[in-house]
Amino acid sequence: LGFAPARCIVVEDAPAGVDAARRGGMRCIAVATTHTADELHAATVVARDPRSISVSPSNPSGLVVTVRR
């Protein structure tokens, strides 16, 4: 897609996916549904439920991602 990894956010629910995102230089929101928050500790932030993540547009062409804890 042409975006630098530092401008990307990965949403994951598995430690291997979190590790891959971090190794790729991306921030990661882990969702503690299939693994515990402790198992997902390498993520940038851990959400308890996918419904706690919201994404809204931001001008001119960005997004605002919010994670309610």
pLDDT digits (tens, 9 = 90+) for 44-57: 999 999 999 999 99
Res. 69: pLDDT tops 80: no
How many CA atoms are closer than 13 Å to the CA of 16, on its beta-carbon side? 1
Range of the domain at 31: 5-67
Classify the C-alpha dihedral 34-40-44-45 as positive or negative: positive
**CA–CA separation, 32 and 2 (whole Å):** 29
Region of residue 11 (phi > 0: left; psi between -120 and 50: alpha; otherwise: beta): beta
Res. 6: pLDDT tops 80: yes
Whether residue 27 contacts residue 46, with contact meaning beta carbons closer than 8 Å, is answered with no
Compute the average pLDDT of residues 8-14: 96
Number of folded domains that form the chain: 1
Res. 43: pLDDT tops 80: yes
pLDDT of residue 27: 97
